[in-house]
Amino acid sequence: MPFTFSDSHIETYHTLGYTVFRQILPPSLINDLRRVCDKAVEIAREKSGSQVQRLQPVAKYDLDQQPFIDYADLPELVDAIARVLTPRHRHGDRETFGVLLEPKDHPWCTHWHRDWRDNISGLPIARWEDRLTDINLFNQINCALYEDHCTWVVPGSHLRRDLPREAERFPERPIPGPDLEGKSNPEREQLCLAYCESMPGAVQLHLNAGDFALYRNTFWHIGNYVPYSKRATIHDGAMTPEFRAWIPETLEISRKRREEGLLWENPNG
């Protein structure tokens, strides 16, 4: 069924922290993107090993760039993003976006996190909290070329600090992931799933081929991956000049703090 924009896309994005443009990619573009992403898998594994889960940025590698250009220029996508956010929010920068891939050998998951706050050591949390609800920052994208059920989220958490039950679940920084050392693949898969489900309020995000998820990466989220489920998902952002300026400034501040021995602030400490 062709994609149709509605006011619910705006409402769910701003209240839940995510919205999905269902079937917004045309089949011909999905086919072209799958073809080039098959090559991306080969390059990624040759470069970084069989467990690698992304190739980024796509412009850096010997890939046919035309399908990525067509994705960036797709009028329906440009319009939908502009209506949920603003016309200043643009996706498809090949110098920054990548492709998320399935690991070849073993199940694996990330740790639960809120981007920047929980995965950039040295970050002053006040800098993150000051911009928590700034719509010019922190707008992320997963565009699935195959079925993708890897992402789990806590809807609405982008609007607030951690709830007591979330702070109780992860009281320490850095946040630990599940202990997978020495486990068989079925054991790893079950441990990762249990870890995903352990977050209060977590829901699994289900994407079909051609679906485009736009979300606030400041909410709680996680990626959970298994080798038997093929994955090629464009990992992108709806960028603005403000966010492009904030990123290098914040990375430099964080770098200097790490040099001073200031690694992880605890938002609930």
Number of domains composing the chain: 1
Q: Is residue 60 part of a domain?
A: yes
Percentage of the chain modeled with pLDDT above 90: 99
Confidence at residue 77, expressed as pLDDT on a 0 to 100 scale: 98
How large is the average pLDDT for residues 28-39? 99
Residue 269 lies in a domain: no
pLDDT in tens, 143-180: 999 999 999 999 999 999 999 999 999 999 999 999 99
AA letter at 161: R
CATH label of the domain that carries residue 113: 2.60.120.620
Residue 1 has pLDDT above 90, yes or no: no
* Segment 202-217, tens digit of pLDDT: 999 999 999 999 999 9
Is residue 2 domain-resident?
no
In terms of C-beta density within 10 A (0-12 exposed, 13-18 middle, 19 or more buried), how is residue 130 classed?
exposed
**Position 207 in a domain:** yes
* Domain housing 122: 8-259
Residue 269 has pLDDT above 90, yes or no: no
Residues in the chain: 269
C-alpha radius of gyration, the chain, whole number = 18
Q: Are 44 and 235 in contact (CB under 8 A)?
A: no
Is pLDDT at 2 greater than 90 in this prediction?
Answer: no
In a domain, 51, yes or no: yes
Residue 200 resides in a domain: yes
Nearest to 63, CA basis, from 55, 72, 53, 54: 55
56 domain-assigned: yes
Residues contacting residue 105 through CB under 8 Å, at least 6 positions apart: 50, 51, 227
pLDDT in tens, 66-107: 999 999 999 999 999 999 999 999 999 999 999 999 999 999
